Amino acid sequence: MPEGQIVRAVGGFYYVRTPDGDVQCRARGIFKKRKFSPLVGDRVTFEWTANGEGVVTQVEPRKTELVRPPIANVEQAVVVCSLNEPRFQPELLDRFLVHCEHEGLEILIVLTKLDLLEDPNGLRQIRAMYDPAGYRIVATSIKTGEGIEVVREELTGRLSVFAGQSGVGKSSLLNRLYPDLELQTGAISRKLGRGRHTTRHVELLDLPEGGQVADTPGFSQLAFQHMEPVDLSDCFPEMRLRAPDCRFRGCLHKNEPDCRVREAAENGEIAPSRHRHYLQFLEEISEQRRY
């Protein structure tokens, strides 16, 4: 039977890319009975129907799976934040990073609108926050072209999904990288300080150099409903590295004695803001578990 990759899903139809072109498919009814839905990014087998369309019959095992946005087999999350308009928000960035770490994705932080940066020390301060975690950071400007080629190299050969609040320039960045994509962009609301979502469904875009980018409506769920308190520090790489040296196994790095993580935050090995956000997220998880 023919095989391919789902590259778009709209209105109950799955568009499967094959060497001979895209095939519009429905999913076999057994998927609904099993409460299992094919996702964009899935490698699938399908059968031809009389009208020249297809029916998805089998989905290959997934390497990764995201719920919001619904997409499978993503390898890399490109977390996009603007340096201005809207302003850089480290707490929001840390939320995105935790969710991407929890899904086991490689992570690239892309800072946009470098040409609008007002504080010359701003970029250095951001790097000081995230360098201890080992994150790759690229500062970019679609106006000057700075950082664009570095991002292009990081996207090549991978299936990447872009994450970040609306208005930070995700679609604009992709349009600068690959003008033929012609992705729709939205204006920034001055009242709200953020942009409007311009993508309505998930779609995989093939890149000229190899690899794919998922154009999605964004990460619509940034709460921590499915995370346990003891799992949270694993989503902070600089804490994950030091946690084995804490006195107590399962240390939550709050007020336990001989906590290596808290000690590192106090002496500057870990950015204080990162530990502060960790404690904030930990409290949110604890509150959710009470209800």
Residues of each annotated binding site for Zn(2+):
246, 251, 253, 259
Task: Indicate the annotated binding residues for GTP.
Answer: 112-115, 164-172
CA separation for the pair 166, 168 (Å, rounded)? 6
- Beta strands 212-215 and 159-163, pairing class: parallel
**Rounded distance, CA 259 to CA 284, Å?**
21
Binding residue numbers: 112-115, 164-172, 246, 251, 253, 259
Cα pseudo-dihedral 270, 272, 275, 279, rounded to 10 = 170
